[in-house]
Amino acid sequence: MKDLKEIVKEKYGNIVKQKSEESCCTPSCCGPSDDGSVISIMAEDYTKLEGYNQDADLNLGCGLPTEFAMIKPGQTVVDLGSGAGNDCFIARAETGAEGMVYGVDFTPGMIDKARENVKKLGFENVKFVYGDIEEIPLDSDLADVVVSNCVFNLVPDKVKAFRETYRILAPGGHFSISDIVLEGDLPEGLQEAAEMYAGCVSGAIQKEDYIDIVRGAGFQNIKIQKQRPITLPEDLLSKYLSKEEIGDFNVKQGIYSITVYAEK
């Protein structure tokens, strides 16, 4: 089996390539497979937020972290797993021309697309950096605010990623991160599905474990800003589970989109 990071990188690379070749929006990696057989089920509507840019919206998120991030004019903001730049451009609308916004992503095609978008917009204070959020290529104590949208669930070493997030935040800074978490054990068939990993589900962990990792990285004043249940369609589950397993899954399993806030 391919390395999980390579699976995610390949999946996201294909999505941005497809977006470049089509006039309409591409399916979310948190929903459909590459053949479009499953509808997007996790993304939320960004279109009403100031700074929204259609070319930068690949429909890949599971929340609206910038809406909850309390970004102020002049602040430095970092978006981890920035994709084509949508959250960065919304953050830029909040921080203004006097602030600074950095987007970090480890898919080359996403970085290329984001840089193309920022060039079109003419923003001089939005910069996209290639890098892995387990080893963020930014200075310590840099950011006033960190945001991220449906990315940490894709990271194999979440402990390291949150420690790196703590490192780049300035003292007194905070994050708002949207992510997918679980309540109840994920069936083995989904745990082993690489497609579901790249689709944000089998890479997710228990909500309590997620919060413990955040706390263990040194963060304080941890809050759930929003929680929304996610229902996986039966046609997707049937690819990995029997009818009996699907019935048990729907009764016993909880998949949620959460937006978490925490301070350094």
**pLDDT, tens digit, for every residue of 211-254?**
999 999 999 999 999 999 877 777 777 777 888 877 776 656 67
Is 162's pLDDT higher than 80? Answer: yes
CB atoms within 10 A of CB 85: 31
User: Roughly what angle, to the nearest 10 degrees, separates helices 4-21 and 108-121?
Assistant: 40
Identify whether the C-beta of residue 264 lies closer than 8 Å to the C-beta of residue 172: yes
- In single-letter form, the type of residue at position 258 comes to I
Average pLDDT over residues 195-199: 46
CATH number where 75 lies: 3.40.50.150
Please state the domain count of the chain.
1
- In single-letter form, the type of residue at position 197 comes to Y
Least confident of 13-17, 23-27, 63-67, 115-119: 23-27
Nearest CA to 226 out of 100, 62, 86 is that of 62
And the tokens for 58?
A: 């690949």
pTM as predicted: 0.83
Strands (E), 64-125: 76-80, 100-105
CA 163 to chain centre: 17
Q: How far is CA 262 from CA 114, 126, 167, 216, 232, in A?
A: 27, 24, 13, 12, 28
CB atoms within 10 A of CB 36: 12
Q: Give every CB contact of residue 251 below 8 A, 6+ residues apart in sequence.
A: none
Calpha distance 212→109 (Å, rounded): 33
At 200, the pLDDT band (50, 70, 90 cuts) reads low
And the tokens for 73?
A: 């004019």
- Please give the mean pLDDT across all residues of the chain: 82
Per the structure, the complete domain to which residue 83 belongs is given by 4-263
Calpha distance 90→46 (Å, rounded): 9
